[in-house]
Chains A and B, each alone.
Chain A
Amino acid sequence: MLRDVATFLERLLGFDPATFDYSWVTAVVVIGAASLLAFVFIALFAGPVTWWERRIAGRIQCRIGPNRVGPQGVLQWLADGIKCFLKEDLVPAAADQGLFRFAPYLVFGGYMATFAVLPFGANLVAADLDVGLLYLLAITGLVVIGILMAGWASNSKWALFGGIRSAAQLVSYEIPSAFSLMSVVLAAGTMSMQGIIGQQGAWPWEWFVFKNPFLFAAFFLSLTASVAEGNRTPFDLPEGESELVAGYHVEYSGMRFLWFMFAEWGNLWVIATIATVCFLGGWQVPGVTPAEIAASTGLAFWGWQALSFAVFVAKASVLVAFVIQLRWTLPRLRVDQLMITCWKYLVPGALLNLAGVLVLLAVVPDQGVADWAIRGATLFLGLALASVFVWKARAGYLADRDLYRRMEGKELWYPPYRLP
């Protein structure tokens, strides 16, 4: 995709791509522009999603949430950003000055580098690496180093505890995460993000999550592990404010602090993207194959890109909303429970899943009767689980509403569809 843009640019400027000696210049310009575009996307995702999360949190906790800056508070994130930009950048006298200043670079760099392989639509991907999924797992290691560096360099007891706890958590949960993604690689036979999407279809029964019960379990394992790797509640011990004040970024202020938050909220998108790509069929649009999209030209090509982008964002947004809801409904784990959850439940579970996927892959022929029977049964299981989830949420809301009416003698002050 980017290479095509570079070639197009060279044509536009009147160079012959076959004889043009400085094609690396146009390549750098185009890739640089793409990286800026990715940054704009991160900013436009991570910012508003903080507002979105706080509004959801408000509703769950029977309060309003930020609604002052702009209509319904949608510009709250901008106000927060400007405020952080204008705040003094304090470096504690006792801290290791160099490492303290350098840590946010690593955290944000490790985070933003994942966007080089994350797909957004049929052809909307910066680099479709052959080792895409492995690269994703590897480059996030930079974030661990950054967090550990921040915790250590602060020379504060809270920060040190937060930093090493976070590092321990991130490396522990990388094991179940890698194993459950490996079962996807087994089923797909490739590590490239677009390749994995291409192995699935647009309809739910063609997704990997409903391919067999083991992959269905792997989806939840992988989602749990990524939530833990994103340091999100219920796994946010590294910054548990009730015990560690703020964890590894307790000494940070202003813009330097903002970069940690940027990576943390932007990470929601990475969590949702990995789950969508590996299990939920990615950007696949019903009724059209990836090859047909790639073969189309002109307006039709861009129409398909926009449509596939919309499909992808819709799937990812549902997951983001789910992860946010998790954060505000589940209590935080204790540090020993955290490690037991990982090593005694998730790791053996992921190993079992991997063996199950492998055996099924070897025994059940692809697209055969048995394959479709397993898919149908898993889809039914998934639909049943989803209905239970929706029904429970509805029952909870109705119970709350009745309770409110009984206690106050009037209707609940806001229905689910109206913003307060």
Chain B
Amino acid sequence: MPFDFAVVGIFLIAAFAIVGIALLLGRFVRPAKPDAVKSQTYECGEQPIGSGWFNFNPRFYQLALLFLVFDVEIALTWPVAVVARRWIAEGRGLLAVVEILLFLAILVVALAFLWGRGDLDWVRDLGVMPHEEDAPAADAAKTPEAE
């Protein structure tokens, strides 16, 4: 077993080393003439406006949370899945089936809850925003054709 994990470790180190060596060797043959225009951030040939580090859609955080919930469930179900066959062979099939199905049922309830809440939709309909309720008159007057 230590031998097998040594293989994994050495493969990882070798991959890093190969990337590093190729980049190092390339350094001796490739040109290096940076200038202000070349090292500009690419924005379709225009002058970049502001930094690239800006606030992005909070949907991604929500997705990450969703993933975490499911991934933990997977990590917990996986060991049971490995031994389920042996349990069935030993005549404890019902236990294995009930246990895994119960675990999956919890997941399904979570999925159904999120689905019902609309969390699985990319664009989530939040209904009318609070500030829109207060000032409908001005907007409606501006765009009568919207009706």
What residues of chain A have their CB less than 8 Å away from a CB belonging to chain B? 2-3, 27-28, 31-32, 34-36, 38-39, 85-95, 104-105, 108-109, 111-113, 115-117, 126-130, 134-135, 139, 152, 154-161, 164, 167-168, 171-172, 174-175, 178-179, 182, 185-191, 245, 250-251, 254-256, 259, 335-336, 339-340, 343-344, 347-348, 351, 354-355, 358-359, 361-362
Contact = CB atoms under 8 A, between A and B. Distances in A.
B32 A174 contact: no
A28 B115 CA distance: 51
Does more than half of chain B's interface fall in helix, strand or loop, or is it mixed?
A: helix
A93 B12 contact: no
Given A157-B52, A191-B82, A359-B97, A2 B7 contact: yes
8 contacts: A34-B7, A94-B51, A109-B19, A157-B43, A251-B41, A251-B42, A358-B97, A358-B100
Interface string B77-106: 110011111101000011011001100100
B63 interface: yes
Given A88-B33, A105-B19, A361-B84, A354 B104 contact: yes
Nearest to A115: B11
A164 B56 contact: yes
Nearest to B84: A186
Given A113-B11, A340-B122, A351-B107, A245 B42 contact: yes
Contacts of A250: 42
Contacts of B59: 168
Contact of B52 (A94, A129, A362): A94
B53 to A, nearest CB: 6
A155 B52 contact: yes
Given A88-B30, A127-B4, A344-B120, 11 more contacts: A31-B10, A39-B14, A105-B19, A108-B15, A155-B41, A156-B52, A158-B42, A175-B67, A179-B74, A340-B120, A362-B97
B39 interface: yes
B10 A92 contact: no
Given A92-B40, A129-B8, A154 B31 contact: no
Given A39-B14, A336-B123, A339-B122, A105 B20 contact: yes
A348 B111 contact: yes
Contacts of A182: 74, 77-78, 81
Contacts of B53: 152, 155, 160
Nearest to B112: A348
Interface in B1-42: 1, 3-8, 10-12, 14-16, 18-20, 22-23, 26-27, 29-34, 36, 38-42
B104 A255 contact: no
Contacts of A175: 67, 70-71, 74
B121 interface: yes
A294 B93 CA distance: 33
Contact of B85 (A31, A129, A186): A186
Given A27-B6, A335-B122, A172 B67 contact: yes
B4 A128 contact: yes
Given A89-B26, A156-B41, A340-B122, A187 B7 contact: no
Residue from B1, B5, B38, B63 having most chain A Cβ neighbours under 10 A: B63
Contacts of B137: none
B82 A113 contact: no
A9 to B, nearest CB: 14
Contacts of A179: 74
Given A112-B15, A344-B120, A89 B23 contact: yes
Shortest beta-carbon contacts, A-B, top 3 = A336-B122, A189-B85, A112-B15
Contacts of A172: 63, 66-67
A112 B52 contact: no
A162 to B, nearest CB: 11
Contacts of A157: 43, 52, 54
Contacts of B141: none
